[in-house]
Structure 1
Amino acid sequence: MLQRPRRGDPLWIWALHGWEGLSWVLIALVTLITVVGDGPTRARYGVPALVAVLALCYALVRCRPDHPVLRPYGYLCVLVAVLGGLSYVGDGLGVFYTVTLAQFVVFADSLGAAVVYTGLGAVAITVGGTLREGRRVDVLTTNAISSLAVFAVGVLITVVTPRALALRDERARLRADLRTAQEELVEAYQRQGAAEERERLAREIHDTLAQGFASIIVLAEAARSGLAVDPDRSAQQLQSIEQTARENLAEARVLVGAAPRSGVAAGSVATTLRRTLDRFTEDTGLTVTAELADVDCDQPTRVALLRCTQESLANIRKHADASTVGVVLARHRAGVELEITDDGRGFVVEESQGFGLVGMRRRLAEFGGDLTVTSSVGDGTRILATIPMNGQV
């Protein structure tokens, strides 16, 4: 049985169901006219009786379409019988067949069934009208021709309706596919956002907390080994440990959202890098030469340059076995350049798989920048970080 129309259904489906509802209004009107008119007694009593049976069956099948006896096809059988009876009891009552054409489509669940039951309806009114008018050949021919014309309209309806339903179902499928695609896209964005956030946190932890803890370990080992022979130096190293621990605590608060996002004190980039280099010299005893131009840049760019410096210095301390370090910060037409060199043991760049260099490249890429690493075994290392500055001076 065809379901009630839904939002988005083709106009034809709405019209079909509207026709079904209108048919009962017309049936009631014709029945009322027949009852109060001066027609034959058979029509005045037969019409309301047959219509009452049809209405009762209609109500039952609409309320209980799964009824064990009166299923939709059972109702169509009753409809065919009632149409034949109406054509028999009254002249012109075959019009009920035209009025109820929509019901053959609504209650049949296939094209073939709709055509068959529509044809049975045409046969019923033809036979009923012929029996009422005397079983003459000319009457049979006339009734058959008129019934056939209405039947042709019914067949047209049954052919058009499945196509309209197919269009409805296709649109419903497309809407469902669109909703699914939108949901999958939202989930993909959420997963991508979560992955990017995890990567950002991993980079921040590596560039801040991990480097700080590594520095604390190195300073603690140095302070312990020199405690007996150089207590002043050990005291200085313990002070550096305390300072590094405080900085790590501040960075940890940034990562959990309890402090400003950058976690870097305000000031020019040259001043920020100078403080970092002084701490590095103090902790390692290495010779550091620095040429730091007073470059004006925003806070995110300043943080990126600082993180690159911290990562490079941490690698020098852990791996380079260098004696001197050079740092140059310069402003060029294309942007700002940060160069860090050392005279350490160097390494094969293509074989490096550390997270630090990858993290620096990704951090710079967020600003449209780039990282160039030049090194070879025994020749030291050169790190060049570039960031476009968009016309800033």
Structure 2
Amino acid sequence: MDPRPQPGERFRSRTLHRWYALTWVLLGACPPVIGALDELDTSKYWLFGLLAVICLSYLLVGAFPANPILRPRTFLGVLVVGLAVVAYLLEGGASLFIMSLPLFWIFATGPRQAIGFSGAAAATSIIGGTAPQGWSPNFLTGNVIAILIGYAASVLLGLWMDKVLGQSDERARRLNTELEHAQHQLAQAHQRQGAADERERLAREIHDTLAQGFASIVVLAEAARSDLDTDPARSTQQLLSIENTARENLAEARALVSSAPAGGIPAGSVAQTLRRTLDRFSEDTGLTVNADLRDVDCDQPTRIALLRCTQESLANVRKHAAASTVGIVLSEHPFGIELEITDDGRGFVVEESHGFGLNGMRKRLAELGGELTVTSSVGDGTRVLAMIPSNGQV
């Protein structure tokens, strides 16, 4: 459906239309009525009746523009005949004709129809106004000249307005096309951004779960192979750890495929979940783990973020730190929840670290309104502090 207004509808501003209707009544219809009040013959009643018919038709066609009987073309025909009869009764009627000229442009479907109907009204008004006196050489009376000038002025003004409004419609159509194009591009950009965000989320989840699990399996398998001849019991324990890690990875993979928000995390408090992770880490690596885990109250997204930060930090300790002791403190404060993980390993230069793991932790915490602070220097170990604000503190 074409949203543009039709030619005649461009002239139909509701506010201007109301003001014009009031002006038409005061300056067009009222003067003939006032002038005919002192007449003694019955012609004045015909005049009043005709004006009433024109006014009623005007109101009806404005109120019911879609009615097949009260179509604008029908009203324009009534207006032409009415103006001619009024001109005959008044032996003039130029003022009513001139005040009625905008109606032809308001209700016509185009410039040609407006010019045609207004031209017919001008001709019939001139004929009606001069008929009572009969034909005379002084045909061009003041009334006739006023009608001709009014008609010519209305044609020029109407054509100019039609051109101006046509250009405005063209600009509006062009702007609408540009807007639709921009909206389409914006929708595509949102779609691409959504896809990119989803890929980043999946990459972060895979890195924090499956990749870490596979890295643990590789380390445990290498250790089990080296201890197979010298310490079979240790190798057996490492193989059991490999089996458990593989099962956990399978659960994580199924959770990722099904988009489960819990991410395969077992039930229990966040302190219990972290304790199981630390016990597994200590068992697999043999490192000393000192933990102070408060049973904090938090929602599932916060619980997942704390677990992922712990897993990533422990994985970094396993792969890079060469530490002997790891400390972890989980505490709750008025401003939020803090998770601190320290090690006595070799440390590193934080500014030179661009790994996916630390960036992933930062983004995961930022999604919850939290932040990650990493403090480390070569030879002095590492401190990782994750802070997540309490609900309503973001």
TM-score (norm 2): 0.66
Offset of residue 229 of structure 1: 1.4
Q: What does residue 110 of structure 2 align with?
A: 106
Q: What does residue 337 of structure 2 align with?
A: 336
Any idea what the Cα deviations from partners look like across 1:354-392, whole Å, max 9, x if unmatched? Answer: 010011111111222111111111111111111122489
> What stretches of structure 2 of length at least 5 have no aligned partner?
18-60, 63-70, 84-96, 127-134
Measured in 2, the distance between the counterparts of 1:100 and 1:286 equals 94
Q: Which amino acid aligns with 1:310?
A: Q
Q: What does residue 157 of structure 1 align with?
A: 158
Measured in 2, the distance between the counterparts of 1:239 and 1:301 equals 30
Measured in 2, the distance between the counterparts of 1:104 and 1:385 equals 73
Q: Which amino acid aligns with 2:245?
A: T
Measured in 2, the distance between the counterparts of 1:323 and 1:259 equals 36
Q: Is the 8 A contact 1:341 1:381 kept in 2?
A: yes
Offset of residue 167 of structure 1: 4.0
Offset of residue 298 of structure 1: 1.7
Q: Which amino acid aligns with 2:240?
A: Q
Measured in 2, the distance between the counterparts of 1:171 and 1:99 equals 24
Q: What does residue 378 of structure 1 align with?
A: 379
Measured in 2, the distance between the counterparts of 1:217 and 1:99 equals 89
Q: Is the 8 A contact 2:256 2:263 kept in 1?
A: no
Structural mapping, 1:178-193, within 5 Å: 178-193=179-194
Q: What does residue 242 of structure 1 align with?
A: 243
- SS across alignment from 1:249: helix
Q: Do structure 1's residue 326 and structure 2's residue 312 form an aligned pair? A: no
Measured in 2, the distance between the counterparts of 1:322 and 1:199 equals 31
Q: Do structure 1's residue 289 and structure 2's residue 290 form an aligned pair? A: yes
Any idea what the Cα deviations from partners look like across 1:62-121, whole Å, max 9, x if unmatched? Answer: xxxxxxxxxxxxxxxxxxxxxxxxxxxxxxxxx9xx89976999367xxxxx99xx99xx
Q: Is the 8 A contact 2:7 2:110 kept in 1?
A: no
Any idea what the Cα deviations from partners look like across 1:171-211, whole Å, max 9, x if unmatched? Answer: 44554455444444433333332222221111111100110
Change (3 A) 1:27 1:200: same
Change (3 A) 1:169 1:388: same
- SS across alignment from 2:152: helix
Q: What does residue 24 of structure 2 align with?
A: none
Q: CA RMSD in A?
A: 4.5
Offset of residue 312 of structure 1: 0.4
Offset of residue 219 of structure 1: 0.8
Q: What does residue 281 of structure 2 align with?
A: 280
Measured in 1, the distance between the counterparts of 2:7 and 2:271 equals 68
Offset of residue 276 of structure 1: 0.5
Measured in 1, the distance between the counterparts of 2:377 and 2:189 equals 42
- SS across alignment from 1:330: strand
Q: Is the 8 A contact 2:72 2:108 kept in 1?
A: no
Measured in 1, the distance between the counterparts of 2:201 and 2:360 equals 9
Structural mapping, 1:188-199, within 5 Å: 188-199=189-200
Q: Is the 8 A contact 1:105 1:157 kept in 2?
A: no
Change (3 A) 1:29 1:370: closer
Structural mapping, 1:346-361, within 5 Å: 346-361=347-362
Measured in 1, the distance between the counterparts of 2:243 and 2:10 equals 73
Q: Which amino acid aligns with 2:243?
A: E
Measured in 2, the distance between the counterparts of 1:168 and 1:223 equals 79
Q: What does residue 253 of structure 1 align with?
A: 254
Change (3 A) 1:390 1:136: closer
- SS across alignment from 2:110: helix
Q: Do structure 1's residue 220 and structure 2's residue 224 form an aligned pair? A: no
Q: Which amino acid aligns with 1:329?
A: L
Q: What does residue 52 of structure 1 align with?
A: none
Q: Is the 8 A contact 1:23 1:99 kept in 2?
A: no
Change (3 A) 1:100 1:206: closer
Q: What does residue 68 of structure 2 align with?
A: none
Q: Is the 8 A contact 1:105 1:158 kept in 2?
A: no
Q: Is the 8 A contact 2:102 2:154 kept in 1?
A: no
- SS across alignment from 2:290: strand
- SS across alignment from 2:238: helix
Measured in 1, the distance between the counterparts of 2:305 and 2:175 equals 47
Measured in 1, the distance between the counterparts of 2:271 and 2:11 equals 70
Offset of residue 336 of structure 1: 1.7
Q: Is the 8 A contact 1:8 1:168 kept in 2?
A: no
Offset of residue 341 of structure 1: 1.0
Change (3 A) 1:289 1:7: farther
Q: What does residue 269 of structure 1 align with?
A: 270
Offset of residue 24 of structure 1: 6.2
Change (3 A) 1:323 1:150: same
Q: Is the 8 A contact 1:10 1:167 kept in 2?
A: no
Q: Is the 8 A contact 1:262 1:300 kept in 2?
A: no
Q: Which amino acid aligns with 2:304?
A: V
Q: What does residue 302 of structure 2 align with?
A: 301
Change (3 A) 1:153 1:332: closer
Q: What does residue 5 of structure 1 align with?
A: 6
